[in-house]
């Protein structure tokens, strides 16, 4: 009997030793455990930033508000806006936000930035107007500037360019004259945005004026928090943009000089290399474009990650370069692969969208529970260490062991669900690959036409017009009906009606998730269906359930 009673103690000692070794292996040095250090490694080593945050959560070194805000910022600075929204949403009901207007405005600012990155104009404008209302109430000029600039961007998106530039210009003037702590961060964003807008509107002189202002900010020391690598990254971007604008202004020598400076700048910041492409194409440097994006393609293939948006970008620009060179055979091969990857990405998004967002909200709730359990776990760990050191009663050890088993079991449930999701997505990707295997036969012109159609639909959301016809699209693309029909059939395996309805359904699903209070009739009107009946019919045909049934699944939490 005595021997049996010692077994739980020995088992607990073994678990303690293994746990201690694991923690020692993954531990982050205490000298790095600060929020300031997370911001310092934002661009150079974001993975380390996440590890630091995990360690600080486990030790309870900061409040949940500070940790979630910093985690969201880390994702935003690396353009992962969907993940950032998850952490920011947790703060909406936090007392630090609910009872503090300044924190509330900062959070609205961040949410607005995320939805801008996701290209969700409705949500972005909603948070911009919430921010403007709060800022006007306390005459907070910097936050008014931020909100006005976002509203100006929305106005431009909706086609009112002159009013948009008026709003954005006023916003920039307000920010320039303010003493806001993050003034230069905001001016960087404002200037870069205005530069791209002026460039796209062929207003090159104004674009050059913006670059001159931006260069002063890049060169200035500023008063914002330093982030390692930021200056080199901005400098490289600035060289690329100056080369493009100077070329279009006819200042070729200066353009060439900035291009050379761009080439000499640090090589590790490659995500924004696409900015130099207008200059390369204008100069006929097609081989350089091919070399650059072929290297990216090879790198993606070597990593085993061949179906993603980076691969799509690499194939698109290589295909365009080969087409400009007159090598239509290689261009056709690349465009065909581009169409296949685009189709696979689209199908994967369509098939997993409902599951993905439902899982995000479920994980949010469970992570909040695990955080609460983590506080209790830390207390029990202290008790466990004391028990092992002092060899106190067997009952306490057994109780802690049982508690740990329950925690591990709950975590395993979460892991199993995630594994099931991964298996399902892999299965869906394989189906997409199989389906794409027989698809093909499109000419380079058909591929190019289809790419133009995709860009037009994504940019202007023409499918929201319930009276949209094939003739409308033909006119916008400067083509003919037969060419459009062939491009859709060969590149998307769809008719024009099926293609438009698929876009409408995608947006309907997103709206029902984001705004559960919106009526089905309003959803149908927003996305371009003539009536709720049409939406019900198309939705049932594609998803084997009605919109109402779909909403019930989301509300239930699909346990």
Q: Which two tokens stand for residue 99?
A: 């009872």
Return the pLDDT at 172.
93
Residue of 144, 140, 192, 190 lying closest to 169 (CA atoms)? 190
* Number of C-beta neighbours around residue 541 at 10 A: 10
Return the pLDDT at 3.
44
Q: pLDDT tens, 81-130?
A: 888 989 998 888 888 888 888 898 889 988 988 988 888 888 888 899 99
Return the pLDDT at 292.
82
Nearest-angstrom CA–CA distance, 218 and 201: 25
For tokens 């975590």, what's the residue? 411
Ordered DSSP codes for 148-194: HHHHHHHHHHTT-HHHHHHHHHHHHHHHHT---TTHHHHHHHHHHHH
- Report the SS3 class of residue 66: helix
Return the pLDDT at 369.
57
First vs last Cα of the chain: how many Å apart? 43
Nearest-angstrom CA–CA distance, 377 and 5: 24
For tokens 């984001």, what's the residue? 514
The model's pTM: 0.49
Torsion of CA 192, 194, 197, 198, to 10 degrees: -110
Q: Which two tokens stand for residue 191?
A: 């200037």
Return the pLDDT at 22.
41
Confidence of residue 381 (pLDDT cuts 50, 70, 90): low
Return the pLDDT at 559.
46
Q: How far is residue 505 from each of residues 497, 524, 526, 536, measured CA to CA in Å?
A: 12, 9, 11, 10
Backbone angles phi, psi at 239, to 5 degrees: -60, -45
Return the pLDDT at 258.
92
| Residues making up the chain, counted from first to last | 559
State what percent of residues in the chain have pLDDT above 90: 24
Is 296:314 a contact under the CB 8 Å cutoff? yes
SS (H, E, C) 326-356: CCHHHHHHHHHHHHHHHHHHHHHHHHHHHHH
Helix (H) or strand (E) holding 537: helix 532-543
Q: Which of the residue ranges 73-77, 140-144, 432-436, 540-544 would you say has the lowest mean pLDDT?
A: 432-436
Residue of 294, 200, 190 lying closest to 244 (CA atoms)? 200
- Give the CA count within 13 Å in the CB-facing half-sphere of 84: 24
Kindly state the average pLDDT of the residues 31-50. 88
* Residue 431 CB burial class (10 angstroms; 0-12, 13-18, ≥19): middle
Residue of 195, 191, 160 lying closest to 176 (CA atoms)? 191
Asked whether the predicted pLDDT for residue 350 surpasses 90, the reply is no
Nearest-angstrom CA–CA distance, 226 and 317: 34
Return the pLDDT at 325.
87
- Report the SS3 class of residue 441: coil
Quote the DSSP letter at residue 265.
Answer: S
Q: pLDDT tens, 388-445?
A: 777 766 777 787 766 655 544 443 333 333 434 433 543 443 344 334 433 456 788 8
Torsional class of 203: left (φ above 0), alpha (ψ -120 to 50), beta (otherwise): beta
Return the pLDDT at 465.
92
Helix (H) or strand (E) holding 98: helix 95-98
Confidence of residue 174 (pLDDT cuts 50, 70, 90): very high
What stretches of 69-126 adopt beta strand conformation (E)?
Answer: none
Nearest-angstrom CA–CA distance, 247 and 253: 9
Confidence of residue 453 (pLDDT cuts 50, 70, 90): very high
Return the pLDDT at 119.
82
Nearest-angstrom CA–CA distance, 167 and 400: 61
For tokens 């950032």, what's the residue? 84
Return the pLDDT at 312.
85
Nearest-angstrom CA–CA distance, 224 and 187: 12
SS (H, E, C) 285-334: CHHHHHHHHHHHHHHHHHCCCCCCHHHHHHHHHHHHHHHHHCCHHHHHHH
Return the pLDDT at 279.
87
């Amino acid at each position: 009997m005595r021997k049996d009673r010692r077994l739980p103690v020995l088992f607990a000692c073994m678990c303690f030793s293994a746990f201690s070794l694991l923690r020692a292996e993954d531990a982050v040095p205490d000298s790095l455990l600060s929020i300031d250090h997370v911001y310092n490694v934002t661009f150079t080593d974001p993975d380390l930033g996440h590890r630091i945050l995990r360690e600080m959560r486990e030790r309870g070194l900061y409040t949940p508000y500070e940790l979630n805000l910093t985690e969201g910022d880390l994702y935003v600075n690396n353009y992962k806006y969907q993940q950032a929204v998850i952490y920011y949403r947790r703060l909406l009901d936090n007392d630090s936000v609910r009872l503090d207007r300044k924190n509330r405005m900062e959070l609205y600012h961040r949410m607005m930035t995320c939805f801008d990155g996701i290209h969700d104009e409705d949500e972005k404008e909603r948070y911009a107007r919430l921010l403007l209302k709060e800022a006007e109430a306390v005459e907070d000029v910097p936050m008014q500037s931020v909100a006005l600039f976002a509203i100006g961007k929305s106005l431009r998106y909706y086609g009112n360019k002159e009013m948009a530039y008026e709003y954005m210009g006023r916003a920039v003037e307000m920010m320039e004259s303010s003493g806001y702590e993050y003034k230069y961060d905001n001016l960087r964003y404002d200037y870069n945005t205005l530069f791209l807008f002026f460039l796209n509107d062929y207003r090159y002189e104004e674009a050059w004026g913006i670059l001159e202002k931006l260069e002063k900010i890049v060169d200035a020391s500023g008063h914002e928090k330093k982030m390692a690598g930021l200056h080199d990254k901005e400098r490289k971007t600035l060289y690329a943009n100056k080369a493009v604008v100077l070329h279009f202004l006819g200042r070729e020598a200066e353009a060439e000089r900035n291009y050379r400076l761009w080439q000499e700048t640090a090589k590790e910041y490659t995500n924004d290399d696409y900015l130099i492409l207008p200059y390369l194409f204008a100069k006929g440097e097609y081989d350089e474009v091919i070399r650059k994006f072929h290297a990216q393609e090879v790198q993606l293939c070597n990593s085993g990650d061949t179906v993603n948006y980076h691969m799509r970008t690499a194939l698109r620009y290589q295909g365009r370069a080969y087409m400009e060179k007159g090598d239509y055979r290689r261009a056709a091969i690349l465009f065909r692969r581009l169409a296949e990857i685009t189709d696979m990405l689209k199908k994967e998004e369509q098939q997993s969208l409902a599951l993905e967002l439902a899982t995000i909200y479920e994980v949010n709730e469970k992570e909040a529970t695990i955080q609460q359990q983590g506080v209790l776990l830390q207390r029990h760990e202290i008790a466990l260490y004391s028990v092992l050191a002092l060899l106190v009663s067997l009952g306490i050890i057994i109780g802690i062991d049982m508690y740990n088993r329950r925690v591990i079991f709950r975590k395993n449930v979460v892991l199993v669900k995630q594994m099931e999701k991964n298996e399902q997505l892999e299965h869906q990707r394989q189906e997409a690959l199989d389906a794409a295997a027989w698809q093909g036969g499109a000419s380079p012109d058909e591929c190019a036409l289809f790419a133009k159609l995709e860009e037009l639909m994504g940019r202007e959301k023409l499918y929201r017009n319930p009276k949209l016809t094939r003739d409308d699209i033909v006119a916008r693309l400067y083509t003919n009906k037969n060419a459009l029909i062939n491009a859709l059939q060969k590149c998307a395996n769809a008719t024009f009606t099926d293609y438009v309805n698929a876009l409408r359904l995608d947006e309907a699903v997103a709206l029902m998730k984001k705004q559960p209070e919106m009526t089905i009739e309003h959803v149908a009107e927003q996305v371009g269906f003539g009536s709720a009946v049409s939406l019900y019919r198309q939705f049932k045909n594609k998803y084997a359930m009605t919109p109402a049934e779909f909403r019930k699944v989301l509300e239930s939490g699909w346990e």
